Amino acid sequence: MATGYDVIVLGLGGMGSAAADHLAARGARVLGLEQFGPVHDRGSSHGGSRITRQSYFEGPAYVPLLLRAYELYERLTRDANREIALLCGGLMIGRPDSRTVAGSVRSATEWDLPHEMLDAHEIRARFPMLAPADDEVALFERRAGLLRPEATVAAQLELAAAAGAELRFEEPVTAWEALPGGRGVRVTTPNGVYTAGHLVVCPGAWAPRQLADLGVPFTVERQIMYWFEPEGGTAPFEPDRHPVYVWEDPEGTQIYGFPALDGPGGGAKVAFFRQGIPCTPETIDRTVHPAEVAEMAAFAGARLPALPGRLLRAVTCMYTTTPDEHFVIAPHPAHPAVTVACGFSGHGFKFVPVVGEILADLALTGSTPHPIELFSPGRLGGRQT
Ligand SMILES: Cc1cc2nc3c(=O)[nH]c(=O)nc-3n(C[C@H](O)[C@H](O)[C@H](O)COP(=O)(O)OP(=O)(O)OC[C@H]3O[C@@H](n4cnc5c(N)ncnc54)[C@H](O)[C@@H]3O)c2cc1C
């Protein structure tokens, strides 16, 4: 049995690579275990872009974490010398009383975040590719924009390895257990059995299997990202003039999208937020069907008429959603030597480095100064102790 690790990290996707980075930077002896290769496309952290924003309609409680995440993303960009963030500005669009607009205004007001309110006429004048209805408005946030998920994970893995973390790929965890008497954890893979003082579990869409004893009813959802070459070319969709956006219709359906990225052939990405089909990582249908493309082209085309020119590609991804769409980040209620980070409900990527910082705090000291009360599994009727 191999021994001698302070912390084992299960899963090296967005959150696990962040945890490994922060733990190794603090001098912990870290073993990271990932079932696939580094920076893969079979979980939740692929697809070239993720929205980041601060006037958070999901709730003002997230704002302090976002402010810290922005700082840590800047640091990551510097330390890894990679392009990770592109702050091209962002619009939260809908009727004034929609969750997207009213929730964003609430967070902006409560935290005094810089923002502008635009009416439909002003939206059309400033962003001519967008065709809002007359009764729609938007909150514009200059510091919103996008993050590069693959570059983020690669940077965190590089920094973790450079700081001494041992990262093993193609090595799935087949079992883990907390040892009695607070003597740490034992983790089994096809290659061996490892022990450590602490285990951090970041399993993404594999949470229902890895964390069944949490008692949280996760729903894993199949989501689709679509890249279109706009009618008339990408020039008006370039990030120097086109923002990221979340757009809510009167029924509450949200789409979100990005400027055109990655040069000719890159296209502009758009997707439905939520509305996914329940699946498992084993049964997910990775084929995107013509009826799905037609539905997206119609919905997006009603709002950005030039966008759905020609479909370039469509790729699936998974959300792991909790009943209230808030995260689960906490010490495992039954095992003090285990910390869990899961259920990111389709909006976790913008928090990746601050989640890494929180997980390092919890694994090494048992507590964190960050406000994570909202993320306790107990709120969902899960296991309390
Ligand atoms: C289409 C789509 C769009 C999104 N858009 C946004 C957005 O715009 N903004 C935003 O903030 N968020 C967004 N998100 C959400 C965000 O990307 C996720 O919350 C985040 O990537 C989750 O990271 P994770 O580490 O939990 O999961 P993952 O990155 O999937 O990592 C989990 C890892 O655990 C590994 N693993 C699982 N079981 C085992 C095992 N037994 N042994 C070893 N390894 C194991 C997996 O292989 C995987 O690598 C989006 C997600 C999707 C799918």
The CATH number linked to 180 is: 3.50.50.60
Q: How far apart are CA 138 and CA 243, in angstroms?
A: 12
Q: How far is the CA of 121 from the centre of ligand 1 (A)?
A: 38
Q: Which residues of the chain register pLDDT less than 70?
A: 1-3, 382-385
pLDDT at 225 (0 to 100): 98
Same domain, 240 and 331: no
Q: How far is the CA of 148 from the centre of ligand 1 (A)?
A: 13
Q: How far is the CA of 191 from the centre of ligand 1 (A)?
A: 24
pLDDT at 384 (0 to 100): 58
CB 368 within 8 A of CB 323: no
Same domain, 189 and 279: no
26-83 per-position pLDDT tens digit: 999 999 999 999 999 999 999 999 999 999 999 999 999 999 999 999 999 999 999 9
Q: How far is the CA of 194 from the centre of ligand 1 (A)?
A: 24
For residue 11, give the amino acid letter. G
Same domain, 300 and 337: no
User: Which residue, 321, 340, 366, sits at the end of a domain?
Assistant: 321
Closest atom of ligand 1 to 351 CA is 11
CB 363 within 8 A of CB 25: no
Q: How far is the CA of 193 from the centre of ligand 1 (A)?
A: 25
Q: Taking CB atoms and a 6 Å cutoff, what residues make up the pocket around ligand 1?
A: 10-16, 33-36, 43-45, 47, 50-51, 172-173, 202-204, 206, 210, 223, 225, 271, 317-319, 344, 346-350
Tell me whether residue 244 is in a domain.
yes
Q: Which two tokens stand for residue 382?
A: 């899960």
CA terminus-to-terminus distance, the chain: 30
User: Which residue, 321, 349, 368, sits at the end of a domain?
Assistant: 321
pLDDT at 274 (0 to 100): 87
Same domain, 224 and 297: yes
For residue 27, give the amino acid letter. G
Give the domain range for residue 336. 5-45+150-216+324-380
- CATH at residue 285: 3.30.9.10
